[in-house]
Amino acid sequence: MRATGGFSTLVIATLIAAGRLDERLLTAALGRVQGSRLVCWIDQGDAADLEIPAELMAVRSAFQGWGEVDIIPHPAGPREKRLLVADMDSTMIGQECIDELADYAGVKPEVADITERAMQGELDFAGALKERVALLRGLDASVIDQCLAERIRPNAGAETLVRTMRSRGAMTMLVSGGFTAFVGPIAEKIGFERFEANVLGVTGGKLSGATEGRIVDSRRKHDVLSELRDQLGLVANQTLAIGDGANDIPMIEEAGLGIAYRAKPALAAVADARLDHHGLDALLWAQGIPKSEWVGE
């Protein structure tokens, strides 16, 4: 579902304002676009489906920055997804693992600056990855486990989103431009069925300053989604992708529903919807799944 292509002149959208969606707020939301109406409540006081007579971009503009609500538009008809492909750093977790690892090596400011520029789309991802990994050369590999234990935490709602979708038969895939040493344990903790990421080189118990094998970059993320979709025999609208940076753009554009989570401007501009004010489990409401059916963390 592409933001640039838009919908017909009628949009069905999920309005989310957890714990705050009372009649006053709902009435104000309906007034953002003339002719809008309530279709149904998904969870009273939390999320509701609206019918809005406007193109997609007009819907986004009408609600952008208003009332600390999130609005997720989708085509009319079945919308529960059968495939979830998600980025990890600053999406499913609240940290950038390579930046935190660099702190143990005493080079966090240098690495974090490169990471930010890459996520903004200012640098080639593969080149930025090579430059950052080189700065970690000689760091004891055991620091990875220490970093995981001390600093890495899932974002709110991550486990509920993944475990609920998986319990309902969806394939869940964590795909990251980070490293398998982090991604494997995080995928297991959150509940992902599969994962793919880069491999850090280790020599004599220390980081070699290079990666091994194929680089998981923006193109690979796109291909992971499209390959899994085809393997599962799904159509585009049955797929959901979530990311935060410029290297997620091809994956987000390929998905039936592409979500920009607390995202950099480059990604936010092309995603089908933004999730700025709620946890990741809010995307269950966007699929029409009420809280009574969520699988808790």
Catalytic residue among 89, 217, 272, 281: 89
Catalytic residue among 43, 46, 49, 87: 87
- Those residues whose C-beta lies under 8 Å from the C-beta of residue 261, and which sit 6 or more positions away, are 91, 155, 242, 243, 244, 274, 275, 280
The most distant pair of C-alpha atoms in the chain lies apart, rounded to whole Å, by 67
Task: Tally helices (H) and strands (E) across the chain.
Answer: 12, 11
Q: Are 146 and 237 in contact (CB under 8 A)?
A: no
- Those residues whose C-beta lies under 8 Å from the C-beta of residue 98, and which sit 6 or more positions away, are 89, 111, 115, 132, 133, 136, 178, 179
Backbone angles phi, psi at 286, to 5 degrees: -60, -25
The answer to whether 87 is a known catalytic residue is yes
Distance CA 41, CA 232 (A): 31
The answer to whether 244 is a known catalytic residue is no
Catalytic sites, residue numbers: 87, 89
